Structure 1
Amino acid sequence: MPFISRIQRQSDYNLFPSTVPIVIDNGASYFRIGWAGEMNPRVIFRNIVQRPRHKTTGETVTIVGDHDPALLKYFDCTRSGPRSAFDSNVVYQFEIMEYILDFGFDRLGANGSEIDHPVLITECVCNPVQSRSKMAELLFETYGVPSVAFGVDAAFSYKYNQQLGVCDKDGLAICPGFTTTHVIPFIEGEPVYRGSCRTNIGGYHITDYLKQLISLKYPHHMARFTWEKVEDLKMEHCYITPDYALEARLFQKGAKEAEDKTRCWQLPWIPPPVEEPPSEEEIARKAAIKEKQGQRLREMAEAKRSSRINELENELHGLEFLLEQLEQVEEDDIPSFLSATGYLSKQEIESALLKVTQSLRKSKGEPKGDQAESEEKTDPATNEKFPLVNIPDSMLTTEQLKEKRRQLFLKTTSEGRQRAKQKRSESELELERKNQQDEENRLYGENPELYLEQLRVKYKEISEKVEQRKRLKTNGNHTNGNNTSGGVGRGERLSAAQRERMRLLTTAAFDRGKGEDTFGARDEDWQLYKLMSKDNDDDDDGPDQDEAELTRISSRLQEVDPTFVPSSELGTSQPVEVPRIRPLTKEDFQIVLGVERFRCPEILFHPNWIGVDQAGLDEMAGVSIRRLPSMGQGVEERLTSSIFMTGGSCLFPGIAERLEAGIRMIRPSGSLIKVVRAFDPVLDAWRGAAAYAIDPQFLTQTFSKTDYYEKGEDWLRRYQLRYSL
């Protein structure tokens, strides 16, 4: 199957004899494979598999471990994310494990699927027999491995550092790994598994917690927080503080020490291009283009105006000619003569002639003049325009009755327009008078500041009044007939007009239910409808007047007070902040790491912060010691005097001091406590396994393919590697 990788393939596989074992450190984070006896593994890659499809060909490819991100643009990765074969440090997805082993043996240089070298592979503490059996089945039946040995990675790292003099034969091995943390006691160089314990917390949870905190702090940069980048930030900037509460207090107070411990990560940022002001030649060129476009628009408008004038003149000549022809027609023949023209009477033709004349004067830009204004004022009210209005219906024919109804409608509409126009004129005059009076008070008053303050107070009072009226009206409309709570101010109050209507309806219904229904027999009964339709409050006139006054005062305040900001809607007296848009700067692309630096690794000692109700590292050491049986005096002292840390998550600065302080609090006073860290917490497990596999007695600790087929799974259940050869 095709692989995508940047790892070079080894070329010296055939130079090693078949007796040299292959050493595999199968960690939940990284897969390391190499030859026994060497100091470093040959191939290291992330223990994940991704199987996307090619966007063009549709072929499924296998991406194992590290890959070139530039190649992902050719593949569809939306339905196939990175997958791991582990669940809490236990292998359970052996289909994915097969892809990883295929890739590891291929990069090591193996030709074909047959592996003729013994294999030493690491596993977690107290690995379930089902997982070990499936791994043995995969190695024996798929790859043809002659013999296999299983060992614990933390034990190999402990034995390797014991040879280097870092730790003693008796001690505690604490291994904070990728997804789990193990504590294993060692007595006389051998692990005591019945005293070991595990917590489901590790480096994966620290990275995930840091990613969540940064994403919540900078949600607009979430796409940049990839898993790999957050992992790098964790290993580069995070640390463990001796006293978390004291450290958090420093950052809360903003002390100088907190500023020194704050780190800044600058994201890629390109400053926006600075636009240079246009030159004089460019300004002149744009002005010439604008003038040319304006001239063209003026020419088009003039041509349209000339065409409109010609049309109106032609229509005017036609109407004048029609009136001249009408003078020569008898009175009785006028309806038949006008039937083909679309007009019904001479008055309608004269009205049309007047409108065309006014439109023509407007198009030519001529003033109306006094005569035109007097004609416009007197024309709608004259009886000459509406001659049939005052004639009784009995004296008119059917056609004349239709014409009379039309003239009545036109007369009513015209009179309504005149009244509205007169009302608007009066309102404008009243508004102008008030503004003039306010201006005189401001200019010639004793205290202009007092006038301005009074204007603001008046604006606030009217706005609150309008807001209250609208709220009451809205609440009354929404809750009318559903008044069950009896509260005030929650939509149950009714206006005065509504209360009066309800009283009238209740009284009429009560009187009607007493006996015979005689409603309508008297003329006074019909007054009820007039009373119900009448508003007893100022719902009609009051709001219009208040809103008009509020608008006038608002415009007045805008004229005399530059700092005044009108409310966005009636009744809101608070000024509305106008959103401001500023260009993005370099500081907007900076990720500041402060409290997050020590807050995320703290979950190693307080897993309950992320919802894991288990013990921390210091408590796990005490639990492991208490699980050991009584082995004589001084055993616990020897264990605590050699506390050994290994695994990638023990690389945080300050973890040794914090672990020593935590264990000292749960041990008797005066106990000897010494915490040491592995020479290389990441690679010492593979190096210890490689040094173990090169020993001539290693083959006595393995089991062959024949033993597997003969003894089966029960023998794997009892299988246990001895680390002291």
Structure 2
Amino acid sequence: MPFITQTQRQSDYNLFPSTTPIVIDNGASYFRIGWAGENDPRLIFRNIVQRPRHKATGETVTIVGDHDPALLKYFDCTRSGPRSAFDSNVVYQFEIMEYILDFGFDRMGADGSQVDHPVLITECVCNPVQSRSKMAELLFETYGVPSVAFGVDAAFSYKYNQQLGVCDKDGLAICPGFSTTHVIPFVDGEPVYQGCCRTSVGGYHVTDYLKQLLSLKYPHHMTRMTWEKVEDLKMEHCYIAPDYASEARLFQKGTKEAEDKTRCWQLPWIPQPVEEPPSEDEIARKAAIKEKQGQRLREMAEAKRSSRINELENELHGLEFLLQQLENVEQNDIPSFLSKTGYVSKQEIESAHVKVTQSLRKAKGEPKAEQVDIEEKMDASTTEKYPLINIPDNMLSPEQLKEKKRQLFLKTTSEGRQRAKQKRFEEELERERQNQQDEEKRLENPELYLEQLRARHRELSEKVEQRKRLKTNGGNTNGNNNFSGGVGRGERLNAAQKERMRLLTTAAFDRGKGEDTFGARDEDWQLYKLMSKDNDDDDEGPDMDEAELARISSRLQDIDPTFVSRPEVGPFQPVVEIPKFRRLTQEDYQVVFGVERFRCPEILFHPNLVGIDQVGLDEMAGVSMKRLPSKGQDVEERLTSSILITGGSSLFPGMSERLEAGIRMIRPCGTPIRVVRASDPVLDAWHGAAAYAAALRFPEQTFSKMDYYEKGEDWLRRYQLRYTL
């Protein structure tokens, strides 16, 4: 199974004797592995595993630890996120742990799966026996390790700093780690596990809280705020406030000191090019190009018009020649002659001649001086086309009567189409005339014209909305501006509907309570004629208003760039203004850290800020001392006089001062309190374990595979490493 990483493989594995232990600091955040007695670990990588598929071949690969982002071009990492073997600070996914150990031993230079060196591996405080047993089984069965020893990382860090003279034999080790925080009391150089205390808050929660705050504050930059980047920002900018409340008030007031404590992260930003106004030469050049394009369009239109005129003239000459030939043809030969031309009758040829003549005059732009002659010809052609219309019925046979009815129907339909066409033509002329008048008014006084147009638009809008409201829910205000409806049906009827209701009511009361004889007389049926009358005035009014409103809206859109049409907005809905476009600046690509700098790490002292109902670091020290089996003022004073903070989260500036102030608040007055930080809070656990494994008496603290199988799992429950050799 291929591994992909940037970590180089060691080449001196065979140079170390088989008695040299391998030291592993198995933290929830980082995995550190090296040789006992050395100053630094050989390999350090993230304790995570990711198994994506290759985009081309579909092969599954294993990525352990940090990987190159360029691999995303070749592997699909969307369906396989990073996975950890830890649940809080306890190893429970041993399949993932096997991938990590495979990678660690492989990069140390081990050949195959055989590791013939003792292993010292760290674990959390009071690790469950099942997790310890599974880890021992994995090391013995899979890798063939000869012997294994388990130790607590915080205890190794405390013993290492004790050797350096940083802390005393009696004291407290406070370890704010990646996922949890531990407090371990030390008496006579040995940890007292009965007095340990744990809180489920660590550096992971600080980073996650900072990521949430930044995502809420800058939602448009969420893609840039990856976990790794937020982790770097946390370690670079966050600090512990001496007093959280006063520090928050400082930023709330916006004082000069708060501005000095604010940090800014500048995202990559490329300024947009500024559009400069065109010069006079550029304007003249564009005008020349526009004039040239216009001249070309005019020439194309003139050529098209000339071509159209030639086509119409040819067609007109052809029709005239056809009519001349038709006059010389005998009456009996006319049907055969017409069948060859494609026309049915002489009237159809004459009608086509008239239409072509009109089209030719329109194309040439000639005035309609001969419109009367054309109409006379059309009348003559109509008379010839419908010869039976003017003949009385008593002079026609039954077949001719049927033909006359058909001709009457055709003539009526044709005249109706002509009238509709003429009406549309007149309406178009009226619109052109009205638009021309509006343009003249606008040119005279543009501001006054625009103001009048807006007033007219408001008036028509209110009128149309009022009519729609009356149609839907009555809309009777009753003098109280109450537009919620609640009126009777009669108030929602128009004039025609009210008249119908009046007629029906009158007819009903006129009959009385006797026998219903409605319809016996002919006068009764006149009631339906009165009820079926259309109220033209009531129907035409809304249509005219809406048409006028649409015309004014279109006009306002043409001349007023700030006008926004509101077809969907009701009369009582707020109008949402469209935000204007603003050019993005460098400030839009800045992430500002103000109160977030101390608000996020504050959860180490107040976990309730993120919904965790547990105590903070300062209270954990008091709880741990109360749990000691041997209590006393002298013991507690020795513990508080040597408090060591270790772990990655102890690197925040101000951690020691804040922790000392918090412990002083819960201890009696005059109690000696000294808080110190480890020489290297991140690597001191491995340093202490490496120094411990290099001691001559270290093999006495290990257990072999044979011991594991002989004594069983319950023996691991009682197994405890002695840190003082």
Short-chain TM bin: 0.7 to 0.9
In 2: Cα distance, 1:499 partner to 1:660 partner: 88
| Residue 626 (1) aligns with residue 659 (2) | no
Contact 2:240 / 2:598 at 8 angstroms: preserved in 1? yes
Which digits, 9 at most, give the CA deviation of each residue in 1:550-589, with x for residues without a partner? 4676688889x97963544387899875554455443333
| Residue 716 (1) aligns with residue 720 (2) | no
Return the letter of the residue paired with 1:624: S
CA 1:606–1:388: 2 relative to 1, 3 Å: farther
In 2: Cα distance, 1:271 partner to 1:380 partner: 75
In 2: Cα distance, 1:685 partner to 1:645 partner: 12
In 1: Cα distance, 2:220 partner to 2:698 partner: 56
The alpha carbon displacement at 1:640 in A equals 3.1
DSSP 3-state at the match of 1:369: coil
CA 1:69–1:558: 2 relative to 1, 3 Å: closer
| Residue 540 (1) aligns with residue 539 (2) | yes
DSSP 3-state at the match of 2:148: strand
Match of 1:463 in 2: 461
Return the letter of the residue paired with 1:109: G
DSSP 3-state at the match of 1:370: coil
**Equivalence map 1:143-542=2 (5 Å):** 143-272=143-272, 304-325=304-325, 327=327, 347-363=347-363, 365-372=364-371, 375=374, 384=383, 389=389, 395=396, 396-422=400-426, 457-473=455-471, 488=485, 494-496=492-494, 500=498, 503=501, 520-523=519-522, 525-526=524-525, 529=528, 533=532, 540-542=539-541
Contact 1:263 / 1:592 at 8 angstroms: preserved in 2? yes
CA 1:461–1:361: 2 relative to 1, 3 Å: closer
Between 273-282 and 97-106, the greater mean CA deviation after superposition? 273-282
In 1: Cα distance, 2:108 partner to 2:163 partner: 28
Between 493-502 and 642-651, the greater mean CA deviation after superposition? 493-502
Between 678-687 and 140-149, the greater mean CA deviation after superposition? 140-149
CA 1:501–1:45: 2 relative to 1, 3 Å: farther
**Equivalence map 1:577-616=2 (5 Å):** 577=577, 580-581=580-581, 584-616=584-616
CA RMSD across the alignment? 4.4
Contact 1:566 / 1:575 at 8 angstroms: preserved in 2? no
In 1: Cα distance, 2:124 partner to 2:641 partner: 25
In 2: Cα distance, 1:520 partner to 1:379 partner: 51
In 1: Cα distance, 2:638 partner to 2:711 partner: 39
In 2: Cα distance, 1:141 partner to 1:372 partner: 111
The alpha carbon displacement at 1:409 in A equals 0.5
Contact 2:115 / 2:143 at 8 angstroms: preserved in 1? yes
Contact 1:45 / 1:66 at 8 angstroms: preserved in 2? yes
Match of 1:480 in 2: none
In 2: Cα distance, 1:393 partner to 1:206 partner: 105
In 1: Cα distance, 2:387 partner to 2:670 partner: 124
In 1: Cα distance, 2:300 partner to 2:519 partner: 70
Which digits, 9 at most, give the CA deviation of each residue in 1:155-200, with x for residues without a partner? 1111222222322333322211111122222223222222222222
The alpha carbon displacement at 1:106 in A equals 2.0
Which digits, 9 at most, give the CA deviation of each residue in 1:643-664, with x for residues without a partner? 3211111111122233333334
In 1: Cα distance, 2:487 partner to 2:201 partner: 53
Return the letter of the residue paired with 2:543: D
Return the letter of the residue paired with 2:402: T
The alpha carbon displacement at 1:501 in A equals 8.2
In 1: Cα distance, 2:536 partner to 2:602 partner: 69
Which digits, 9 at most, give the CA deviation of each residue in 1:114-171, with x for residues without a partner? 2222211100111111100011111112222221111111111112222223223333
| Residue 91 (1) aligns with residue 88 (2) | no
| Residue 74 (1) aligns with residue 78 (2) | no
The alpha carbon displacement at 1:711 in A equals 0.3
DSSP 3-state at the match of 2:492: coil
What is the TM-score with the length of structure 1 in the denominator? 0.84
Match of 2:480 in 1: none
Return the letter of the residue paired with 2:485: V
In 2: Cα distance, 1:330 partner to 1:30 partner: 113
CA 1:107–1:260: 2 relative to 1, 3 Å: same
DSSP 3-state at the match of 1:688: helix
DSSP 3-state at the match of 2:82: coil
Which digits, 9 at most, give the CA deviation of each residue in 1:513-564, with x for residues without a partner? 98877554445554555555557696523323434554676688889x9796
Which digits, 9 at most, give the CA deviation of each residue in 1:212-266, with x for residues without a partner? 3323333333332222222111111122222333333333443323322222222
Match of 1:483 in 2: none
The alpha carbon displacement at 1:682 in A equals 0.3
The alpha carbon displacement at 1:301 in A equals 5.1
Question: For structure 1, which runs of at least 5 residues remain unmatched after alignment?
Answer: 478-485
Return the letter of the residue paired with 2:494: A
Contact 2:118 / 2:147 at 8 angstroms: preserved in 1? yes
Which digits, 9 at most, give the CA deviation of each residue in 1:18-76, with x for residues without a partner? 32222110001111111222221121111112223334444433222133333442333
CA 1:452–1:325: 2 relative to 1, 3 Å: closer
Return the letter of the residue paired with 1:622: G
CA 1:104–1:528: 2 relative to 1, 3 Å: farther
Contact 1:122 / 1:153 at 8 angstroms: preserved in 2? yes
In 2: Cα distance, 1:246 partner to 1:381 partner: 104
What is the TM-score with the length of structure 2 in the denominator? 0.84
Which digits, 9 at most, give the CA deviation of each residue in 1:386-430, with x for residues without a partner? 665555666434344323211111112222333454466567767
In 1: Cα distance, 2:284 partner to 2:434 partner: 49
Contact 2:569 / 2:575 at 8 angstroms: preserved in 1? no
CA 1:425–1:283: 2 relative to 1, 3 Å: closer
Return the letter of the residue paired with 1:50: Q
DSSP 3-state at the match of 2:681: coil
Which digits, 9 at most, give the CA deviation of each residue in 1:586-635, with x for residues without a partner? 33333222232222222223333333333332333333333334522333
The alpha carbon displacement at 1:83 in A equals 1.6
In 2: Cα distance, 1:52 partner to 1:240 partner: 39
Match of 1:121 in 2: 121
CA 1:699–1:149: 2 relative to 1, 3 Å: same
Contact 1:380 / 1:415 at 8 angstroms: preserved in 2? no
Aligned pairs, number: 709
Contact 1:388 / 1:407 at 8 angstroms: preserved in 2? no
CA 1:435–1:286: 2 relative to 1, 3 Å: closer
Return the letter of the residue paired with 1:130: Q
Fraction of identical pairs, as percent: 74
